[in-house]
Chains A and B, each alone.
Chain A
């Protein structure tokens, strides 16, 4: 039994000042999932990445960006011009009671506005400053212009993705900023552990480019240990000296499955038996899959075996194949779209989806929930994504004690 209330989330006592745009806003989202009080500090008029699609009902509007919603849920929002002197004063007051600052400005910007780590540390020696930039704070490429496809290309992910006879490709839904943000959250929490032990804060320099290098399997160690550049192989994957086929047509779409041998050979036998029971793949009946080894197979032999499964898969739907595979201990998964994912029974059973009310839109939106479960707490949605400056009064007036009259002055002066 969980005896919890909202205040018992693991990061409830901690405040994050989130100055990021799309490059870094997933970091605060992850910390918010664990309970941190994340205050998104937007420039007056709003974070420019609010203009990134897709949009609610396809109507472009800074308060309708779905990619912004997805990564800024559980945050509060204030507007502040940190380039103005008043803005800097207010920011510095906030820093005194904050635990983390996350920013994704170009290298050198924080220094230019007088808010670099040396300054912030004076105000709050325990502060952890997380900087997320395209290539890091220093180095020959630090000012290179980039976007998702550049990171995926330079990070090694693209060279191993796609069909061999065409250009390398990226994942069609941008991944580099999710990688960078999630890795930044990890780094921030490692620094937090150290702070809890020693009282010492620090700054963190994270490179989005490097975060993609860190999320790409095979590429760098295959070169280092094997002296070979792994390439993209379309419907096949590299395994030992051969490349088993991984993507197959079925009656109503595609599935992922590959021939297994050795330790996992029984899983291949299970599929062969299933196919045999329907009069398919009969010539594979007597093969001893457990006794074979991928490092001693030829591609020709593998492809001869694989031909036997083509027809079998075509006679079944992806749901039939997935359910049949589960029953028989076969490793086979449907190639889902986002629509299929929404209908997945496992996610529904685990209450993954959350309905979040957006009063301003007079609508309720289904969000993916927090992706971790704990015996001690439930990550919940505490705030829907904030409107621009929605919490200005809460923070400026009620918390910092700035009077309503002063707020008007600051507003007219373009500070908030």
Chain B
């Protein structure tokens, strides 16, 4: 199953206890670039995304879930019951094989199994362990349970998605889960370099609260310096107008338009057939447009609603104004630029069938990475991992199997 070409991280060994999004997303990219990732699951502790809809064909099954499938391609999957001593023993053998161990349980969980950093370090001093969490491994709230969906409210994101005249509206996405993986990958690569130089391993502690906050750093400085706490602005911008999403022709179809300066404003008015707006005192200057922006939004929408989002985008781009469609899932799959970049790759999954997987936002010229394996079925590689990676004998494998270790 190994590809012949080095995709950047070939030879790198990752032992992955993580689940849901932040951990699995991190290791998926490493696997994409050639690292061998062994994901540890258990019947008693399924990755909760194995029970989420959508399920392929609407048929329930732990191997049919879209969410699990999206974040676990290219990984080997072994089932291990860590509540059994022999299960922990196999896990420890995998630790001695691995360069990096990844987990995102509630802090303290790995320790309970005897797999905390201090235990791992004893087994293998140069091990690199990455613990992802909600709020970090230490501190009064380190053991507060949660998911990105709620946690992003603590960080401040929910309060920044909404309209000034309404309660926050929030997003349907656990956004902070998609901040963590980038720090995760960078930290793991940096730790590997550090180990190469010094011979030392380390424990990396990466929480969603702190990483999430780092993506708000400009707003944070506005508060710590100017005492201004950013609030929800709908689709407006502090600095320009018109700036928003405008209804277009069709059912719930929208297009965004952002006019940034006077020269764009003139082109914009020309393009939508209202050159006279540039002479109207309330719109002729930026300050005027900002002051009368609600009225302006209505006028822009009156124009936009006569066209499809794609038509609006094309007209705007032609006159040099920033614009794009508000893409649905379907739109992203048919986006010509996304297609050009080969973002989606087709692969046949045993139960889900032939469908597309997503690749990263980056293209590396010499080690491009590739999707080689679809997401694993539960325990699909238990035997492969035991025999090929750990060199466990047939006799021992059968014995462990009979003891219920692979459950």
Contacts and interface: CB of A to CB of B under 8 A. Distances in A.
Given A153-B326, A168-B326, A336 B6 contact: no
Interface string A149-190: 111111111111111001111111111001110111111011
A161 B258 contact: no
B325 to A, nearest CB: 6
A189 B190 contact: yes
B340 A138 contact: yes
A292 interface: no
Contact of A215 (B12, B54, B178, B194): B178
A162 B173 CA distance: 11
A161 to B, nearest CB: 4
Interface string B206-231: 11011101111111111111101111
Nearest to B70: A221
Interface stretch (B157-165, B288-296, B376-384): B157-165
Interface string B133-149: 00111111110111101
B394 interface: no
A221 B220 contact: no
B172 A213 contact: no
Contacts of A225: 54-56, 65-66, 69, 352, 355
A144 B150 contact: no
Given A230-B329, A232-B172, A169 B193 contact: no
B221 A367 contact: yes
A71 B333 contact: no
B140 A158 contact: no
Contacts of B122: none
A11 B190 CA distance: 7
B214 A371 contact: yes
- Among A220, A226, A246, A342, the most chain B Cβ lie within 10 Å of the Cβ of A220
Interface string A12-26: 010000000000000
Interface string B20-51: 01000000011001000000000000001001
A233 B243 CA distance: 22
Interface stretch (B77-85, B181-189, B270-278): B181-189
A67 B237 CA distance: 15
Interface stretch (B197-205, B385-393, B399-407): B197-205
Contact of A183 (B218, B321, B337, B360): B360
Contacts of B358: 213-214, 220-221
A277 interface: no
Given A156-B329, A169-B162, A204 B230 contact: no
Given A154-B327, A367-B221, A334 B160 contact: no
A34 B186 contact: yes
- Among A190, A202, A366, the most chain B Cβ lie within 10 Å of the Cβ of A190
A83 to B, nearest CB: 23
A227 B56 CA distance: 9
A374 B137 CA distance: 11
B191 interface: yes
B335 interface: yes
Contact of B244 (A11, A139, A167, A189): A167
B187 A34 contact: yes
Contacts of A226: 53-54, 66
Contact of A198 (B6, B66, B136, B224): B6
- Among A54, A153, A160, A377, the most chain B Cβ lie within 10 Å of the Cβ of A153
Interface string A184-215: 11110111111011101011111111110111
Contacts of B169: 161-163, 169, 232, 234-235, 247
B367 A190 contact: yes
- Among A13, A191, A227, A267, the most chain B Cβ lie within 10 Å of the Cβ of A191
Contacts of A186: 29, 181-182, 185-186, 189, 362
A150 B312 CA distance: 13
A241 B53 contact: yes
Nearest to B218: A67
A323 to B, nearest CB: 10
A145 B181 CA distance: 28
Interface stretch (B90-98, B107-115, B246-254, B279-287): B246-254
Nearest to B233: A172
A315 to B, nearest CB: 18
A359 to B, nearest CB: 16
Interface string A230-269: 1111110111110000110100001111100011000100
A139 B324 contact: no
A350 interface: yes
A235 to B, nearest CB: 7
Contacts of A217: 21, 172-175, 177-178
A210 B343 contact: yes
B235 interface: yes
A78 B277 CA distance: 43
Contacts of A404: none
Interface stretch (A39-47, A302-310, A325-333, A405-413): A325-333
B320 A145 contact: yes
B218 A170 contact: no
Contacts of B8: 190-191, 193-194
Contact of A365 (B48, B224, B258, B340): B224
Contacts of B217: 70-71, 367-368
B154 A144 contact: no
Contacts of A146: 322, 324
B153 to A, nearest CB: 4
B272 to A, nearest CB: 16
B146 A333 contact: yes
A258 to B, nearest CB: 7
B210 A350 contact: yes
A263 B337 contact: no
B364 A187 contact: yes
A168 B252 CA distance: 9
A80 interface: no
Q: Which 10 A-B pairs have the closest CB atoms?
A: A226-B54, A223-B329, A225-B66, A189-B189, A182-B182, A139-B340, A187-B362, A215-B178, A371-B210, A70-B217
29 contacts: A30-B183, A136-B341, A139-B340, A147-B258, A153-B254, A162-B163, A163-B163, A172-B230, A172-B232, A172-B233, A191-B367, A213-B332, A219-B173, A219-B332, A220-B332, A222-B54, A224-B355, A225-B69, A226-B54, A241-B53, A255-B153, A257-B150, A295-B51, A326-B141, A333-B154, A341-B156, A350-B136, A372-B211, A374-B204
Given A169-B163, A225-B355, A374-B202, 13 more contacts: A53-B239, A67-B221, A172-B161, A193-B9, A203-B364, A206-B361, A225-B352, A232-B172, A256-B149, A262-B51, A342-B223, A365-B224, A373-B206
